[in-house]
């Protein structure tokens, strides 16, 4: 008599599945894992996953005692990609959300004896001052620093992941929603940014969403349950001049008569530009320009961010040529969505 043995796939609890990283993670993990998504408002609506509505503010994530017990028995790992990322949120609310999620999920991880994979941000390496140019960004980054401390000090096994700016898919540029960097680069392409507050040699560290997902997938498949990893371009980052040339090249390709903005040192913006905002621009336009400045200030760095990707086997994906192609593809997809390029336009592989 032959006995056939069947092995179930491991089950991943994923939060933030409707977001940029979450969507990329579904693509990456669905072939090898059963994915259960906890959502708050936005349905995931993907046949490859199961989902339930939940809340970090409620006991047992808002589930019944029986359903929660099933989740505890079933889950093999937790990937926490949900966060309050809007810098326009009240800082207290940003902190509440970004600490509430890890608190609830660490409790679940401990009960289920499984690891928590926590998505932080690489900008914890150089957080903006709370009373500086970027109060919203500062609230977000500092909430991630606190959340990391919470995760690090908890007895549950945990992996901390620190991606830098996340752009679209490296091949076709697609992503579920555009990020702040698209606002800055899009303004350059459209000619809506007469100046950008960064020197030409400032580093702009970004990584494509599919690369972030591939790294997390590798760690899950290999059963890594501890460690802290920087998912960045590091010393391979493009600089402001590289990005400017890319944007101006795309503008020309799209047939736009865009005038190249000036790259201006931050101190000049502080001293000369900001004092004129209130006097020279309508309130709505001044607010939009301040948003552009806030994104620009956060995105740039003088020194490379720490980087774990080469040691994880992903060094080739962050070589400068690969990053340049990924940035172009992401911005060309942006142009298609914004109606600046044909909807059926082919992504040029540079």
- pLDDT of 126 reads 87
Distance CA 206, CA 171 (A): 15
- pLDDT of 347 reads 46
The least confident of 30-34, 201-205, 271-275 is 271-275
3-state secondary structure of 151: helix
CB neighbours (10 Å) of residue 183?
A: 18
Over 70: is that where the pLDDT of 289 sits?
A: no
- pLDDT of 288 reads 65
Average pLDDT value for residue range 265-289 = 62
- pLDDT of 92 reads 87
pLDDT band at 138, cuts 50/70/90? Answer: confident
Joined tokens for residue 186: 């899009």
Which pLDDT tens digit goes with each residue over 185-242? 999 999 988 788 888 999 999 999 999 999 999 999 999 999 999 999 999 999 999 9
pLDDT band at 182, cuts 50/70/90? Answer: very high
- pLDDT of 280 reads 65
Tell me how long the chain is. 350
Torsion angles phi and psi, residue 196, rounded to 5? -125, 125
For the whole model, what pTM was predicted?
A: 0.91
The least confident of 5-19, 45-59, 273-287 is 273-287
Distance CA 217, CA 320 (A): 23
> Who's near 9: CB < 8 A, 6+ residues apart?
32, 33, 34
pLDDT band at 90, cuts 50/70/90? Answer: confident
Over 90: is that where the pLDDT of 268 sits?
A: no
Over 90: is that where the pLDDT of 326 sits?
A: yes
CB 117 within 8 A of CB 106: no
pLDDT band at 88, cuts 50/70/90? Answer: confident
- pLDDT of 278 reads 56
The least confident of 47-51, 106-110, 176-180, 229-233 is 176-180
Over 50: is that where the pLDDT of 133 sits?
A: yes
Percent of the chain with pLDDT strictly greater than 70: 86
CB neighbours (10 Å) of residue 131?
A: 7
Domains and CATH numbers, the chain: 6-163 (3.40.50.720)
Which pLDDT tens digit goes with each residue over 106-122? 999 999 999 999 999 99
pLDDT band at 346, cuts 50/70/90? Answer: low
Distance CA 152, CA 118 (A): 10
Torsion over CA: 314, 316, 322, 323 (sign): positive
pLDDT band at 86, cuts 50/70/90? Answer: confident
- pLDDT of 349 reads 42
Distance CA 61, CA 244 (A): 45
- pLDDT of 340 reads 94
Q: What is the mean pLDDT of the chain?
A: 89
Average pLDDT value for residue range 236-265 = 94
Q: Which helix (H) or strand (E) holds 284?
A: helix 283-299
Over 70: is that where the pLDDT of 132 sits?
A: no
Over 60: is that where the pLDDT of 1 sits?
A: no
Distance CA 29, CA 103 (A): 24
Buried b (16+ CB within 10 A) or exposed e, 258-290: beebebbebeebeeebeeeeeeeeeeeebeebe
């Amino acid at each position: 008599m032959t006995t056939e043995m069947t092995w179930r796939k491991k089950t991943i609890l994923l939060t933030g599945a409707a977001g940029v990283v979450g969507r990329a993670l579904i693509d990456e993990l669905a072939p090898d894992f059963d994915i259960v998504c906890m959502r708050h408002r936005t349905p995931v609506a993907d046949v490859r996953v199961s989902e339930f509505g939940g809340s970090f503010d409620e006991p047992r994530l808002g589930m019944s005692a029986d359903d929660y017990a099933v989740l505890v028995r079933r889950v093999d790992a937790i990937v926490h990609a949900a966060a309050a990322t809007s810098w326009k949120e009240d800082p207290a609310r940003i902190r509440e959300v970004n600490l509430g999620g890890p608190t609830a999920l660490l409790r679940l991880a401990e009960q289920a004896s499984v690891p928590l994979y926590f998505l932080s941000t690489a900008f914890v390496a150089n957080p903006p001052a709370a009373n500086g140019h970027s109060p919203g960004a500062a609230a977000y980054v500092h909430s991630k620093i606190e959340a990391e401390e919470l995760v690090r000090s908890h007895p549950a096994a945990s992996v901390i992941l620190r991606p830098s700016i996340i752009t679209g898919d490296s091949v076709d540029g697609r992503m579920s929603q555009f990020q702040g960097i698209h606002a800055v680069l899009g303004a350059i392409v459209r000619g809506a940014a007469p100046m950008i507050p960064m020197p030409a040699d400032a580093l702009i560290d970004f990584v494509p969403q599919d690369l972030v997902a591939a790294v997390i997938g590798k760690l899950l498949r290999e059963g890594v349950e501890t460690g802290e990893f920087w998912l960045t371009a590091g010393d391979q980052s493009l600089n402001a001049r590289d990005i400017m040339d890319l944007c101006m090249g795309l503008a020309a390709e799209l047939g736009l008569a865009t005038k190249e903005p000036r790259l201006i040192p931050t101190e000049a913006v502080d001293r000369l530009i900001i004092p004129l905002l209130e006097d020279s621009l309508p309130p709505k336009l001044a607010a939009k320009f301040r948003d552009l400045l806030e994104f620009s200030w956060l995105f740039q760095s003088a020194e490379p961010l720490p980087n774990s990707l080469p040691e994880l086997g992903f060094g080739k994906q962050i070589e400068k040529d690969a990053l340049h192609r990924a940035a172009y593809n992401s911005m060309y997809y942006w142009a298609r969505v914004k109606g600046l390029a044909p909807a059926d336009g082919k992504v040029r592989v540079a």
